[in-house]
Amino acid sequence: MNDTNQFELTVGLYSFPKSGNTWLRAIIAGITEMPQGPGILQRFVTDTHYGKVKEDPWYFQGKDWYFYKSHWKDEMTEDGGGKFATDKIIYIYRHPLDVFLSYLNFVSRNVAANAGKNLPIQFDSVEDLKPEEMEQLFQIFLEHQTLFPQNRKFGGLFEHIDLAKEREAAGESIKIIRYEDLQDNFTSTVEDICSFLGMEGIQVEKVFEKADQRTQQNGKFFWKRQKNNYLNYLTKDQLDRFYEAHGEKMTSYGYPRED
């Protein structure tokens, strides 16, 4: 990461796919008082799959801020052929089985017709999956902690989280938050983010309202913003197998068996 410039900061928002990064982007937009409107989020809190990091800064509290979103497991250092450095990282993660269900929704024809073309099953919605189809997809996630093990830039979910925790342990400028903490303790979690970024005087209640407005614009993409949604779709046997294989890791992330 870069040595902090007094008048310019580059902040990376990192996560494994479907872990809450789009909600986090909307929260950052709310904190920094970005206007609503088409294209604002992509322009100033850039999704690096669709745009460059260092094109449009957002001026706020005396600094030019470059915010970007990435699902890479490793920190980005190059973008569009140009090198850049990141001053601070905010990393968000979520209950792995809720990630699995949210990922299934994303790769369904309900949201992105081509996203799941490399899966063994194509389907219209999570609700339409037959038990044997859900089991086939579940087995992929059980083994690889991702639906796309061929994507090495993202890697598996556990590897992704562990790398972030290693950076934190090494003293890098990284703030790790959980999706569920935003749901349960929005005010204190956002206050921690603001403190980490060095921002002052933020009215957190307005941040929630603005972020909620942005994320309600696309119900299909955001699907079901709730905790423990996996309990509505997975069987006890599937949960038993997942926790038998990964229970120690899950507990270390703050997700002991609850069902």
Residues 236-250: tens digit of each pLDDT: 999 999 999 999 999
Lookup result for tokens 């204190």:
188
Residue 259 lies in a domain: no
When comparing pLDDT for 4 and 17, which is higher? 17
Q: What is the pLDDT of residue 195?
A: 97
Contacts of 8 (CB under 8 A, 6+ apart): 57, 63, 64, 65, 66
In this prediction the pTM is 0.93
Query: How many residues can be counted in the chain?
Result: 259
Residue 237 lies in a domain: yes
Q: 180: domain CATH number?
A: 3.40.50.300
113 strand-pairing partners: none
Residue 258 lies in a domain: no
Per the structure, the count of domains in the chain is 2
Q: What is the pLDDT of residue 11?
A: 98
The Cα 85–Cα 70 span in angstroms is 14
Same domain assignment for residues 179 and 150:
no
Same domain assignment for residues 27 and 134:
no
Q: What is the pLDDT of residue 219?
A: 47
Q: What is the largest CA-CA distance in the chain?
A: 56
Contact 173, 182 (CB under 8 A): no
Residue 227: pLDDT over 90: no
Same domain assignment for residues 87 and 101:
no
Same domain assignment for residues 66 and 160:
yes
The Cα 179–Cα 255 span in angstroms is 12
When comparing pLDDT for 71 and 259, which is higher? 71
Range of the domain at 101: 96-154+223-252
DSSP three-state, residue 212: helix
Same domain assignment for residues 134 and 170:
no
* DSSP for 163-198, written as a single string: HHHHHHHTT-SEEEEEHHHHHH-HHHHHHHHHHHHT
Same domain assignment for residues 21 and 124:
no
Same domain assignment for residues 206 and 121:
no
Could you report the per-residue pLDDT of 132-164, keeping only the tens digit for each?
999 999 999 999 999 999 999 999 999 999 999
Could you report the per-residue pLDDT of 72-111, keeping only the tens digit for each?
999 999 988 889 999 999 999 999 999 999 999 999 988 8
Same domain assignment for residues 18 and 72:
yes
The dihedral region occupied by 118, where left means phi > 0, alpha psi between -120 and 50, and beta the remainder, is alpha
Q: What is the pLDDT of residue 214?
A: 75
Same domain assignment for residues 204 and 229:
no
Q: What is the pLDDT of residue 5?
A: 61
Residue 1 lies in a domain: no
Same domain assignment for residues 14 and 69:
yes
Could you report the per-residue pLDDT of 31-59, keeping only the tens digit for each?
999 998 889 999 999 999 898 998 899 99
* Percentage, residues of the chain above pLDDT 90: 77
